[in-house]
Chains A and B, each alone.
Chain A
Amino acid sequence: MRAICARLGIELVELADWSCCGASSAHQTGRWLAHALTGRNLALAEKVGLDLAITCPACYLRLRTTQKEMKDNPKQRDELAELIGQPYGAKNNIRHLLPIIYHDVGVTKLKNSVAKPLAGLKLVCYYGCYLVRPPEVVAFDDPENPRMMDLLLEAMGADVRDWSGKVDCCGGSLSMSKRRIARRLVAEITQWARNAGAEAIVTACPLCHSNLEARQSDKLPVFYFTELIGLALGIAEVRQWLRKHLISPLRLLASHGL
């Protein structure tokens, strides 16, 4: 991610002293713990004064949820400040990496920087839940048919297929505790991807990525979208990331000369 952002002219600064946002487990079991864990990070970022760039849609949704609720409700904001021991003004600009690349770099610039087009690679883009829903919190794209990732990958020469599994849930939050549910949801998604003629699924969520690989019996490779951007831009480091996949995409890429 750092390598790709650097190439695209986006400067990233790691938020010093960040802590975990509590993810699903915090907000599913206690709203104040959830707000306090996200609130601490939001308050830290507010002090730094830069936009918050986030790679994980779950973190993205959690932080945006807290910010929205605190913005709408000053009384709650005071209660939060007491819990985290520092003031919080709910003024952050919280953004996911995908719209940052789409809006700030833009499809045209990306297209012009392609060194190795992803020609012939048949893909489906999987957006999952937290990036698109609930729409009034995430303010992302069309919640039923988002196109941002599709357009980026098309610009890099890939054969992006239209399909019906784009915004369906993969059961990632239940991946450990309810494997039966996760396996069934993942099987449906890979089946739809196959039906659309895809050779791989592209995600914008690390948890979906991990769940789609770990709970899959189909051996359909899964990419995080920046890996493919990196390949198309000719960034050598990408090869090392691809070796970490549970379902190796190397043979598929080699068959397309990538």
Chain B
Amino acid sequence: MKYFDRQRQLISDATFLSQVKEVSQTNLERCYQCLTCSLGCPTTFAMDYLPNQIVRMVQLGLKQETLTSATIWVCADCATCATRCPNNVDLPKLMDTLREMSLLEKVAIKERRIAAFHDSFLTSLKRWGKPHELSLLLWFKLKTGDFFSDLGLGLRMLVKGKFKVFPPGFTSLKEVRTIFHRVNQKLTTEEKH
């Protein structure tokens, strides 16, 4: 982890902690690094920093390091950490906050496949208002350029009737699209402030 830049200046954003605390509504300063979160976490093998390290990094204001980490995307949101945390630090909410911030701040995302999946899911949802797996898969494949993986599995699922070929009809589609529009507007005005 880098603490200093080339000019030997400390890379720390003094407002980062308070910003994260405000959005996530969780008191990260209570963490005393007992590592219970990281010991119970099922996906640490794919992380670059352990969950307890992420908490420490936020406390120290290491914004760039935190928002570009793989950890925030690899977290499967299973909440084992938060359930066992002796200090009630809500790590899943912290991870949600960090993911949202990394998207809003347009930093380089380390786990682009995971971000692309979420984006495809929401694109499909905005288009149909209800889940439609086939279009979600198509968008995901277009976004990642990975056309050939899971083709066999996809076909088997199609044959078994697990995918609906035609998108669901939905009368209030406009309402859902308005929600997407209003949320975007809200985020833009909040950013200006």
Contact = CB atoms under 8 A, between A and B. Distances in A.
A20 B92 contact: no
A241 to B, nearest CB: 10
Interface in A175-193: 176-181, 184-185
B157 interface: yes
A184 to B, nearest CB: 7
Contact of B183 (A19, A30, A167, A243): A30
B183 A179 contact: no
A122 interface: no
Interface string B131-174: 10000010010000000011001001100111000000011100
B142 to A, nearest CB: 14
Given A32-B183, A169-B76, A184-B45, A177 B113 contact: yes
A196 interface: no
The DSSP consensus for interface residues of chain A is: helix
Contacts of B121: 23, 25
A83 B179 contact: yes
The DSSP consensus for interface residues of chain B is: helix
Contacts of A185: 42-43
Contacts of A120: none
Given A19-B170, A37-B179, A85-B175, A143 B83 contact: yes
Interface stretch (B6-14, B50-58, B95-103): B95-103
Contact of A20 (B74, B78, B125, B150): B125
Contact of A40 (B92, B116, B176): B176
Contacts of A246: 156-157, 160
B118 A181 contact: no
Interface residues of B, number: 57
Interface stretch (A94-102, A110-118, A127-135, A227-235): A127-135
Nearest to A240: B161
Contacts of B113: 177-178
A146 B37 CA distance: 20
B27 interface: no
A143 B78 CA distance: 12
Nearest to A244: B160
A255 interface: no
Nearest to B179: A36
A238 to B, nearest CB: 16
B103 A29 contact: yes
A78 interface: no
B96 A31 contact: yes
A144 B140 CA distance: 35
15 contacts: A25-B125, A30-B187, A31-B96, A32-B186, A33-B122, A36-B179, A37-B179, A40-B176, A79-B186, A129-B78, A133-B82, A133-B83, A143-B83, A174-B43, A177-B111
Interface of A: 17-20, 22-33, 36-37, 40, 79, 82-85, 129-130, 133-135, 143-144, 167-169, 171-174, 176-181, 184-185, 210, 214, 243-246
Given A36-B183, A177-B117, 6 more contacts: A20-B130, A20-B131, A29-B99, A134-B79, A178-B111, A246-B157
